[in-house]
Structure 1
Amino acid sequence: MSTLQWSDSLSLDLPFMDDTHREFVDLLAIVVTASDTDLLPAWKILIDHTHEHFEREDQWMLNTRFSSSNCHTMQHKVILQVMREGDVRGKAGELDVVRQMASELGIWFPQHAQSMDAALALHLRSVGYDAVTGVVHAPQALPHEEIHGCAGESCSPKAELAEQTTADLSYS
């Protein structure tokens, strides 16, 4: 099984995002190479990291009027839901499901980082967002209203992207 590795193509030139993304890639690699004995503990660590990772990004979006109702946040919710389902299935002895999910995450993550996270990084830079303090140093650059949707073909009111993500990562 191929393992996602950190590369410059994943860098968003925003250290506080890149550090979190690098950690995600490293933890995913541990899951992919884990023995059956170590798989579920490694998967749980990845879930916990991903929960915190997504929670931070969602807060940055709220702090800068990049609405939490957009499809970026929806994708976060769907991915976490699927990962948690993987934990349940893994505990039921279906380790192959967890391994397949890990493989699919390795495909999903670069696409997510290079599209949705890249748009968020651009927005955060444009408003001078300081992730440590939560201060927006260029408040005049904030949108007058919350940004809804992701302004791309992949986002629709029917949340087609979220449905596709669920289909890609769910296994019956």
Structure 2
Amino acid sequence: MPALEWSDALSLDLPLMDDTHREFVDLLGVVERSADDAVIPAWRTLVDHTQVHFDQEDRWMRETRFAAGNCHSVQHKVVLDVMREGLKRAEDGDIELLRMMAGELAQWFPQHAQSMDAGLALHLRRCGHDPATGTVLNPDALPTAEISGCGSASCTPHEPVGEHSAA
């Protein structure tokens, strides 16, 4: 049984984001179940998916006035860098490292999804952002200045994301 399985607790009521997250969880499970000779290709698939996944969310943030260096995007970069480093080390023979990293990702992901991604999803719904097209249907709900935080309540405690000020 994988360390992380999709559940309603991970759903953010944003279908495209939820579908991408479900795929991440499924691919992470493939890594965990893979035999030693299949774990590196499974990890590569997970890294490729995660790059597209994070690029997608980073694009949504740019389309709705998140600052380029916001902590959500920075976390995406750090996680991908660590995943790529794990791949290099596994290719040099340290396959057990990928198994350990898969377990760590299974613990990290729910926290990330339920804080940073939940804040982003709320922001996207408030401004009427269509994740598929990038269209903002309610531009008056966009903040007047770029959001420098991640969008989660813990990062921006005083003003909800989507209000007309920088968070």
TM-score of the superposition, structure 2-length normalised?
Answer: 0.89
Q: Which amino acid aligns with 2:105?
A: L
Partner in structure 2 of residue 126 of structure 1: 126
Flag as ranges the 4+ runs of structure 1 deviating above 2 A. Answer: 150-155
CA distance in structure 2 between the aligned counterparts of 1:16 and 1:151, rounded to whole angstroms: 18
How many residues align? The count is 156
CA gap of 1:152–1:52, structure 2 versus 1, over 3 A, is closer
Q: Deviations over 1:117-157 (max 9, x none)?
A: 000000000000011211000000000010012366965xx
Q: Deviations over 1:84-114 (max 9, x none)?
A: 0000010010011111000000000000000
Q: Could you tell me whether the CA contact under 8 Å between 2:115 and 2:153 is conserved in 1?
A: no
CA distance in structure 2 between the aligned counterparts of 1:17 and 1:38, rounded to whole angstroms: 28
Residue aligned with 1:106, SS: helix
CA distance in structure 2 between the aligned counterparts of 1:134 and 1:128, rounded to whole angstroms: 10
Aligned-pair Cα RMSD in Å = 1.7
Partner in structure 1 of residue 158 of structure 2: none
CA distance in structure 2 between the aligned counterparts of 1:150 and 1:29, rounded to whole angstroms: 27
Partner in structure 1 of residue 165 of structure 2: none
CA distance in structure 1 between the aligned counterparts of 2:96 and 2:149, rounded to whole angstroms: 34
Partner in structure 2 of residue 87 of structure 1: 87
CA gap of 1:107–1:38, structure 2 versus 1, over 3 A, is same
Structure 2 residue runs without a partner (length 5+) = 156-167
CA gap of 1:154–1:91, structure 2 versus 1, over 3 A, is farther
Residue aligned with 1:133, SS: coil
Taking the TM superposition and a 5 Å limit, the aligned residue runs for 1:17-36 are 17-36=17-36
CA distance in structure 2 between the aligned counterparts of 1:134 and 1:149, rounded to whole angstroms: 21
Q: Which amino acid aligns with 2:32?
A: V
Partner in structure 1 of residue 69 of structure 2: 69
Q: Which amino acid aligns with 1:98?
A: L
Structure 1 residue runs without a partner (length 5+) = 156-172
CA distance in structure 2 between the aligned counterparts of 1:152 and 1:137, rounded to whole angstroms: 22
Residue aligned with 2:18, SS: helix
Taking the TM superposition and a 5 Å limit, the aligned residue runs for 1:130-169 are 130-150=130-150
TM-score of the superposition, structure 1-length normalised?
Answer: 0.87
Identify the structure with bigger relative contact order (alpha carbons < 8 Å, sequence gap 6+): 1
Residue aligned with 1:144, SS: coil
